[in-house]
C-alpha cells in the first residue's frame, strides 16, 4: 500500500515484488521487458519484409522453411500483407510506446520530481496488465484461420471490413488496440496527476527536467486523443461483428449513412498527435542528455519546454495533411498545409537550442551522448523530408510512396529508437545497479547508425523514384526494375541493423547476470534528483522528500568550490 508522499510497505512475496507490483520502478521494468520482446518480434517481421523486396520469390534463409513450409520458405503474398500490417502495429504500439512511455515514464517521473511513487499505484499496475492482455490478443490473431490483420497498420476500410479482411484476425487487431488504449489512458491519467500534484517542494514547472516535460506533454495528448482511436476501432468492430454501416463503402447510396473516409478522419485525428506522443519523450531525453554530457546548461531550456508545449497544441490541428489525396476541398488543404508549416517553427527553435547546447561544450562521448547526437542527425533529416509531405503539390506525387515510409521511419523509428537506447544506457545503473559495457554500447551505436541510415535513406531514394509502398513484388512494373539494386542495399542495411541489435541484447543480459554492482551512485555526474539516492533506487525512493533549490542543468559553473562541475537540485545555486 502506498500513501501520498508516504513510505511504501516493502513487498514480502515474489508475486507482490515482481508480478502484481504497485512499485513504479518494477512496473517500469515490466514495460521495458515487454517492449524489448515486441521490438524483437517487430524487427524480425521487418527483416522478412525487406528480404521479400530484395529477393522476390527466394526463400528466407534458415527460418523460411520453418515459418512457411507450404511455400518452401518463400513469404507468400497474403502473409506479406499481414507482416507489414503487424510490423507497423507492433513497433508503434507494442515496442516504442512501452519502452519510451511505459518504462521511462514510470521510472523517471517520480524519481525526477522527488516523489515516492505515482499518484495512483493500483491504476499503474492495471495499466501494465491491460497492455499485457492486449499483446496476448494481438499474438493470438496469428494462430487462427486466415491469420492476423492484413489491412495495413492504419487499417483503412474497405481493406479492414469483412470484404477486405474476412477472417477474425482484423477483429482481434481492433480489440487489441482498444484494450491497449485503455492501458495507455490509465497511464496518462497517472502521469498527469503525478506531475501536477507530487512535485517536490520548490520544484516549479521550469525546474523539472525536460525529460519530465516530454513525458508529461505526451500523457496529455494520450488522455485527449486515445479515446478518439478507441471510438474508431470500436465502430469498426461493430461493422465487422454486428453488421453496422459506419465505414461501409456505398452505404451512403442505400441507407444514407456510411463512409470509409470517415475512418481516416477518426484515425488521423489521433494519428498525427500520435507522432508527437512517440517523439516527445525522446525530445525530452535528448534535451537533458545533451546538456549533461556537454557539461553546460541546456541552451534555452525554457524556450525548449515552451516549444514542445506549442508543438503539442498545434499537433491537434494538422492531421489533414495525411488526407490531401482524398478529394479534400482546396480550402481545407491550404489550411492544413499552412498549419503544418507553422508547426515547423517551434520544432526549429528547440532544434537550434540543441545545437546551442552542444556548441563549445566540454563533450563527454559516453554511449548515451552518442545516441543523443544520433537523434539530432536523424530527426533533422526526418523533419526536413516532412516538409515535402506537408505541402500539397509535392505530396500529391510522393503520397503512398516509399518516400513517406522513409520520412516517418526517420522521425518515428530512428529518432525514437535511438532515444530509447540513450535512455536505457543512461538510466540502467539506476534501474539495476549495474553499468552496461561502454565498448559494446559504442559498437552498438555505430552499427545501428550505419544500418538505419542505409535503410531509411534508401527508402527516400526509391520513394522519390516512384516506388509505392505495400507492393509484394514492385519489380513486375517495368519502371521499378532499375530500383532492384537499391532495394538490395536497403535489405543488407536491415540485416546489419538487426545484427548489431544482438550486441545490445548480449550487453543487456550479460550485465544483468554477471555485471558488477556500481560503486558510484552517480556515475554520470548529474544533478537531477534521481542521482541523489542509492543505485538501484530503494523501494521507497526518498527517505525524506527533497527540497529543490535550483534547476536540473546547473553544470560547468566555475565558481563551484567542491571539486565538482555540477550542482544537485537540492543545493543552493552558486551564481556564476
- Helix/strand/coil for 402: helix
Question: What span, in angstroms and rounded, lies between the C-alpha atoms of 369 and 363?
Answer: 8
Cα Rg for the chain, rounded, in angstroms? 24
N residues, the chain? 576
Which grid coordinates are listed for 356? Answer: 546551442
Mean pLDDT for the stretch of residues 48-57: 92
Measure the N-to-C terminal CA separation of the chain; round to a whole number of Å: 44
Mean pLDDT for the stretch of residues 100-109: 96
pLDDT attached to residue 2: 37
Question: What span, in angstroms and rounded, lies between the C-alpha atoms of 236 and 240?
Answer: 6
Q: Which residue has the cell 488496440?
A: 177
Q: Which residue has the cell 554530457?
A: 293
Mean pLDDT for the stretch of residues 74-89: 93
Least confident window among 187-201, 205-219, 462-476:
462-476
pLDDT band at 327 (very low <50, low <70, confident <90, very high): confident
Mean pLDDT for the stretch of residues 287-308: 96
Query: Per the domain annotation, does 225 fall within a domain?
Result: yes
Query: Per the domain annotation, does 4 fall within a domain?
Result: no
pLDDT band at 196 (very low <50, low <70, confident <90, very high): very high
pLDDT band at 255 (very low <50, low <70, confident <90, very high): low
pLDDT attached to residue 542: 92
pLDDT attached to residue 576: 58
Residue 480, domain extent: 26-532
Query: Per the domain annotation, does 357 fall within a domain?
Result: yes
Is residue 438 within 8 Å of 366, Cβ to Cβ?
yes
Q: Which residue has the cell 496469428?
A: 142
pLDDT attached to residue 557: 82
Question: What span, in angstroms and rounded, lies between the C-alpha atoms of 281 and 106?
Answer: 12
Query: Per the domain annotation, does 3 fall within a domain?
Result: no
pLDDT attached to residue 3: 38
Q: Which residue has the cell 543488407?
A: 492
Is residue 284 within 8 Å of 209, Cβ to Cβ?
yes
Query: Per the domain annotation, does 130 fall within a domain?
Result: yes
Least confident window among 231-245, 359-373, 549-563:
549-563
The full DSSP string for 500-547 is HHHHHHHHHHHHHHHPPBPS-S-TT---SGGGGS-SSPPTTS-SS---
CB atoms within 10 A of CB 265: 16
pLDDT attached to residue 253: 64
DSSP state of 316: G
Is residue 509 within 8 Å of 434, Cβ to Cβ?
no
Q: What are the distances in angstroms from CA 76 to CA 165, 288, 401, 544? A: 16, 46, 22, 60
Please name which of 485, 500, 553, 523 lies closest in space to residue 287, comparing C-alpha atoms: 553
Is residue 186 within 8 Å of 119, Cβ to Cβ?
no
pLDDT attached to residue 15: 82
Mean pLDDT for the stretch of residues 189-202: 96
Domain count, the chain: 1
- Helix/strand/coil for 204: coil
Is residue 529 within 8 Å of 200, Cβ to Cβ?
yes
Which grid coordinates are listed for 361? Answer: 561544450
CB atoms within 10 A of CB 513: 8
Is residue 533 within 8 Å of 541, Cβ to Cβ?
yes
Query: Per the domain annotation, does 397 fall within a domain?
Result: yes
Task: Reply yes or no on whether the pLDDT at 175 is more than 60.
Answer: yes
Least confident window among 99-108, 243-252, 442-451:
243-252
Preceding omega of 158 cis (within 30 degrees of 0): yes
Task: Reply yes or no on whether the pLDDT at 559 is more than 90.
Answer: no
Question: What span, in angstroms and rounded, lies between the C-alpha atoms of 378 and 376?
Answer: 6
Mean pLDDT for the stretch of residues 522-535: 94
Which grid coordinates are listed for 251? Answer: 452505404
CATH code of the domain covering residue 250: 1.20.210.10
**pLDDT per position as a tens digit, 441-474:** 999 999 999 999 999 999 999 999 999 998 999 8
Is residue 39 within 8 Å of 46, Cβ to Cβ?
no
pLDDT band at 62 (very low <50, low <70, confident <90, very high): confident
Q: What are the distances in angstroms from CA 358 to CA 169, 290, 306, 544, 576? A: 48, 7, 20, 35, 19
**pLDDT per position as a tens digit, 378-435:** 999 999 999 999 999 999 999 999 999 999 999 989 999 999 999 999 999 999 999 9
Task: Reply yes or no on whether the pLDDT at 562 is more than 80.
Answer: no
Mean pLDDT for the stretch of residues 489-500: 96
pLDDT attached to residue 330: 86
Question: What span, in angstroms and rounded, lies between the C-alpha atoms of 328 and 391?
Answer: 14
Which grid coordinates are listed for 388? Answer: 515535402
Is residue 403 within 8 Å of 385, Cβ to Cβ?
yes
Query: Per the domain annotation, does 538 fall within a domain?
Result: no
Please name which of 270, 387, 393 lies closest in space to residue 333, comparing C-alpha atoms: 393
Q: How would you write 99-147 as a 3-class SS string?
A: HHHHHHHHHHHHHHHCCCCCCCHHHHHHHHHHHHHHHHHHHHHHHCCCC
pLDDT attached to residue 251: 65
Which grid coordinates are listed for 89? Answer: 502495429
Residue 502: CA count within 13 A, CB half-sphere: 6
Q: What is the mean pLDDT of the chain?
A: 92
Q: How would you write 337-371 as a 3-class SS string?
A: HHHHHHHHHHHHHHHHHHHHHHCCCCCCCCHHHHH
Query: Per the domain annotation, does 553 fall within a domain?
Result: no
Higher pLDDT, 63 or 105: 105
Task: Reply yes or no on whether the pLDDT at 8 is more than 70.
Answer: no
Amino acid at each position: 500500500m502506498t500513501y501520498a508522499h508516504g513510505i511504501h510497505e516493502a513487498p514480502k512475496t515474489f508475486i507482490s515484488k515482481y508480478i502484481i507490483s504497485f512499485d513504479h520502478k518494477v512496473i517500469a521494468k515490466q514495460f521495458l521487458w515487454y517492449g524489448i520482446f515486441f521490438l524483437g518480434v517487430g524487427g524480425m517481421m521487418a527483416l522478412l519484409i525487406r528480404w521479400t523486396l530484395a529477393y522476390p520469390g527466394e526463400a528466407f534463409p534458415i527460418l523460411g522453411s520453418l515459418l512457411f513450409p507450404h511455400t518452401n520458405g518463400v513469404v507468400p503474398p497474403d502473409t506479406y500483407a499481414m507482416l507489414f500490417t503487424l510490423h507497423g502495429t507492433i513497433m508503434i504500439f507494442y515496442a516504442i510506446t512501452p519502452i519510451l512511455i511505459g518504462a521511462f515514464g514510470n521510472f523517471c517521473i517520480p524519481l525526477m520530481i522527488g516523489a515516492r511513487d505515482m499518484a495512483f499505484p493500483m491504476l499503474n499496475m492495471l495499466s501494465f496488465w491491460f497492455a499485457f492482455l492486449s499483446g496476448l490478443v494481438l499474438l493470438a490473431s496469428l494462430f487462427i484461420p486466415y491469420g492476423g490483420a492484413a489491412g495495413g497498420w492504419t487499417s483503412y476500410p474497405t481493406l479492414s471490413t469483412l470484404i477486405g479482411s474476412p477472417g477474425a484476425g482484423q477483429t482481434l487487431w481492433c480489440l487489441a488496440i482498444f484494450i491497449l488504449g485503455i492501458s495507455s489512458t490509465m497511464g496518462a491519467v497517472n502521469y498527469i496527476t503525478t506531475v501536477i500534484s507530487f512535485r517536490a517542494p520548490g520544484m516549479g514547472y521550469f525546474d523539472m527536467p525536460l525529460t519530465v516535460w516530454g513525458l508529461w506533454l505526451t500523457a496529455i495528448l494520450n488522455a485527449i486523443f486515445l479515446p478518439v482511436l478507441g471510438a474508431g476501432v470500436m465502430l469498426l468492430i461493430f461493422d465487422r461483428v454486428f453488421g453496422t454501416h459506419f465505414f461501409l463503402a456505398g452505404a451512403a447510396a442505400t441507407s444514407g449513412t456510411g463512409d470509409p473516409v470517415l475512418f481516416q478522419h477518426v484515425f488521423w485525428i489521433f494519428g498525427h498527435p500520435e507522432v508527437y506522443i512517440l517523439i516527445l519523450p525522446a525530445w525530452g531525453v535528448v534535451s537533458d542528455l545533451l546538456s549533461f554530457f556537454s557539461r553546460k546548461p541546456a541552451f534555452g531550456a525554457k524556450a525548449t519546454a515552451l516549444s514542445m508545449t506549442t508543438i503539442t497544441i498545434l499537433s491537434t490541428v494538422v492531421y489533414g495533411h495525411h488526407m490531401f489525396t482524398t478529394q479534400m476541398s482546396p480550402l481545407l488543404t491550404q489550411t492544413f498545409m499552412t498549419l503544418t508549416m507553422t508547426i515547423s517553427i517551434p520544432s526549429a527553435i528547440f532544434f537550434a537550442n540543441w545545437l546551442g547546447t552542444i556548441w563549445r561544450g566540454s563533450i563527454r562521448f559516453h554511449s548515451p551522448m552518442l545516441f543523443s547526437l544520433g537523434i539530432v542527425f536523424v530527426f533533422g533529416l526526418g523533419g526536413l523530408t516532412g516538409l515535402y509531405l506537408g505541402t500539397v503539390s509535392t505530396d500529391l506525387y510522393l503520397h503512398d510512396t516509399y518516400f513517406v515510409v522513409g520520412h516517418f521511419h526517420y522521425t518515428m523509428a530512428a529518432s525514437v529508437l535511438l532515444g530509447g537506447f540513450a535512455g536505457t544506457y543512461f538510466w540502467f545503473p539506476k534501474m539495476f545497479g549495474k553499468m552496461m559495457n561502454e565498448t559494446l554500447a559504442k559498437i552498438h551505436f555505430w552499427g545501428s547508425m550505419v544500418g538505419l541510415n542505409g535503410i531509411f535513406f534508401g527508402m527516400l531514394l526509391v520513394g522519390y523514384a516512384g516506388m509505392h509502398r505495400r507492393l509484394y513484388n514492385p519489380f513486375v512494373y517495368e519502371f521499378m526494375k532499375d530500383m532492384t539494386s537499391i532495394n538490395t542495399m536497403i535489405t543488407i542495411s536491415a540485416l546489419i541493423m538487426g545484427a548489431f541489435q544482438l550486441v545490445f541484447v548480449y550487453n543487456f543480459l550479460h550485465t544483468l547476470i554477471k555485471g558488477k554492482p556500481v560503486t558510484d551512485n552517480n556515475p554520470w555526474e548529474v544533478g537531477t534528483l534521481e542521482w541523489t539516492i542509492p543505485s538501484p533506487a530503494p523501494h521507497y525512493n526518498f527517505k525524506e522528500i527533497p527540497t529543490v533549490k535550483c534547476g536540473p542543468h546547473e553544470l560547468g559553473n566555475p565558481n563551484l568550490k567542491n571539486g565538482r562541475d555540477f550542482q544537485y537540485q537540492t543545493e543552493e545555486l552558486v551564481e556564476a
